[in-house]
Amino acid sequence: MKKIFTLLISLLLSIGIFSAEEKETGELLIYAGLMEDHAIAAAKEFEKETGIKTKFVRMSSGEILARVRAEKNNMTASVWYGGPIDAFVAANEEGLIQPYKSPNATDIGDKFKDPNGVWTGIYVGYLGFVANKEVLKELGVEIPNSWQDLLKPEYKGEIVTAHPGSSGTAYTMLATVIQLMGPEEGMKYMQKLNGQVRQYTKSGTAPGRMVGLGETAIGITFLHDAIKYRKEGYEDIIMAAPAEGTGFEIGGVAVLANGPDQVSAKKFVDWSLSKKAQELGQTVGSYQFLTNTTAVPPSEVEEIKGAKLIEYDFDWAGKNRKNLLDEFSKATKAEVPTK
Element (H, E) at 200: strand 197-201
- Cβ distance 175 to 167 under 8 Å? no
Mean pLDDT of 179-185: 98
Share of the chain above pLDDT 70, in %: 94
Is residue 198 over pLDDT 70? yes
Q: What is the pLDDT of residues 55-97, one digit of tens each?
A: 999 999 999 999 999 999 999 999 999 999 999 999 999 999 9
Average pLDDT over the chain reads 94
Is 284 buried (19+), middle (13-18) or exposed (0-12) by CB count in 10 A? Answer: middle
Q: What is the pLDDT of residues 235-244, one digit of tens each?
A: 999 999 999 9
Q: List beta partners, residue 255.
A: 79, 98
Q: How confident is the model at residue 22 (pLDDT cuts 50, 70, 90)?
A: low
- Cβ distance 141 to 153 under 8 Å? no
Q: What is the pLDDT of residues 167-178, one digit of tens each?
A: 999 999 999 999
Q: How confident is the model at residue 338 (pLDDT cuts 50, 70, 90)?
A: confident
Is residue 29 over pLDDT 70? yes
Is 6 buried (19+), middle (13-18) or exposed (0-12) by CB count in 10 A? Answer: exposed
Q: What is the pLDDT of residues 277-332, one digit of tens each?
A: 999 999 999 999 999 999 999 999 999 999 999 999 999 999 999 999 999 999 99
Mean pLDDT of 151-173: 98
Which long-range CB contacts under 8 A does 326-329 form with residues at least 24 apart? 327/183, 327/187, 328/164, 328/165, 328/174, 328/187, 328/190, 329/165
List Cβ neighbours of 302 (8 Å cut-off, separation of 6 or more).
none
- Cβ distance 89 to 317 under 8 Å? yes
Q: Phi/psi at 130 (nearest 5 deg)?
A: -125, 150
